[in-house]
Amino acid sequence: MGQSLYTLQDPTKQYPQPEFQHQPQAVPGSQAQMTPKPDCGESSYKGSGRLPNRKALITGGDSGIGRAVAIAFAREGADVVINYLPAEEQDAKEVIALIEAEGRKAFAMPGDISDEAFARKLVRDAHRKLGGLDVMACMAGKQHWVEKIADLTSEQVQETYRVNVFALFWMCQEALKLMPAGGTIVTTASIQATHPSAALLDYAPTKAAILAFTRALARQVAGDGIRVNCVAPGPVWTPLQTSGGQPDKKIPQFGAETPMKRPGQPVEMAPLYVLLASQESSYVTGEVYGATGGLEVG
């Protein structure tokens, strides 16, 4: 899968289409247990030196979009710190090995960014380990469907906001103390920000908040030479979906509602993060790039 990433082909048939099998997992989920396994660029992404010697911190770097971005950044010439939950250690070890195979420095920093003290320390430690910090790409997120608002607990709402929104404030506050002019921050919203699903009543508003946060912070720090941009994916085939992000009954047809009739693969998101992290996008800030298979981000 994905071996012909750079060959002209029909994108609707480039990756698996529904129907998929039922495959519920416990949170936080694992790539190894998914069928088909997501393509995060392990064998399909080829770098071309677009991030030479950059120093990048990536959250959610063990699996899904974060894994794809970590692999892509390394193959473009960056040294990388990945953050992930301790329960995701096995997936993270694979990513570290893939980064090191490119001759780049790789550091694993497990921990929960919903904890303010850890989130702030993560940024400082990444800066110390890498000998600098000029890219921060934030993919880690919490998503768990609940059908009715009456069943949505205060605990879940607070945890979703802490991971998706509050951690972004804490990490950006620390990163902006350390980043040089030319540094970039890339956030991750979602089509849910503007086209929310009924069962994602807590998750969707956090993604709308990320859109506004990105645009406001970009204006605030542009004069300092720091750029802030956002990627807004549509349905993407990741462990987040099979571990409660979607009801299991929806997994067999996941992504079928897009004009391309399939979900995206993590590797298809990675080039946007590479572009926004690179000097090639030097006049781009406060922007939101959709990758939705034809759905409108709005």
Helix axes 89-101, 64-75, angle to 10 degrees: 20
157: CB partners within 8 A, 6+ apart: 202
Give dist(CA 259, CA 264) in Å, integer: 12
Query: Rounded distance, CA 186 to CA 188, Å?
Result: 7
Q: How far apart are CA 171 and CA 119, in angstroms?
A: 6
End-to-end CA distance of the chain: 31
CA gap 238, 29 in Å, rounded: 9
Q: Is 273 a catalytic residue?
A: no
Taken as a whole, the chain contains a residue count of 298
Catalytic residue among 161, 203, 273, 289: 203
Q: Which H/E stretch holds residue 204?
A: helix 203-221
What is the C-alpha separation between 278 and 282, in angstroms, rounded? 8
| Residues with catalytic function | 203
